[in-house]
Amino acid sequence: MMGLQLVRVVDEGGDSWVRLELSDGLPTPVANALRRAIINEVPTMAVEEVLVIENSSAMPNEILAHRISLIPFVSDIDNYSLPEECTCGSKLGCERCVVRFVLRAAADTDTVTVYSRDISPEKPDIKVAPVSGDFPIITLAPGQRVELELYVRLGKGRKHAKWQSGIATLYEENGRRYLYVESFGFLPARRMVKEAVKIINQQVKELEQKLEEVMKNAEE
């Protein structure tokens, strides 16, 4: 859909961000569709469900679960499926559509701050993990304890902002058009762009198929 003659990488900051120059041959609506796909359609992984086994802290369960759900996770989109596309058909999910984590922390005699680094996978040696271990989750006073089970799944930004892969900005400067893409850590910026292109191409193919069906039915 977009050849090298239409898009050129101007500069980038490792996996964190990339800036693309768009040629005049790429229609603005298509460029904007790419921007919107990066924000709304590229799948990423985040905590969708929290099972509270114990919470004796001062923080209500709902707020604690909400804070945890906003932690971005390094996303393995090659080996996991969106829940609605998984063949297991289970609400609980399976090893192809859910990654389970646990969070256990307790404060004995001193106050303890619980961080995202304290979240542990149920199965070791997986790629999926919080993008940083330095996100503070909760502070426990002496005698308080939390124990949670976390269910991390793929999702899209159009469903909830916690799955938004990053930001994408379309702008003009000195007569040239640029697309700036910055990752929130789920995926490398270049991968975000590539996935968005794949999604747009798939949507176009599906639209073509539907149009062919409509035209065929109209002729009959």
Q: Is CATH 3.30.70.870 the classification given to domain 7-42+165-219?
A: no
Q: Give DSSP secondary structure letters for 44-112.
A: EEEEEEEEEEEE-SSS-HHHHHHHHHTS-EE--TTT---GGG-TT--SS--TTT-EEEEEEEE-SSS-E
pLDDT digits (tens, 9 = 90+) for 84-142: 999 998 888 899 999 999 999 999 999 999 999 999 999 887 899 999 999 999 999 99
pLDDT digits (tens, 9 = 90+) for 138-177: 999 999 999 999 999 999 999 999 999 999 999 999 989 9
Q: What is the pTM of this model?
A: 0.88
User: What residue ranges do the domains of the chain occupy?
Assistant: 7-42+165-219, 44-159
- At the top level of CATH, the class of 44-159 is mainly beta
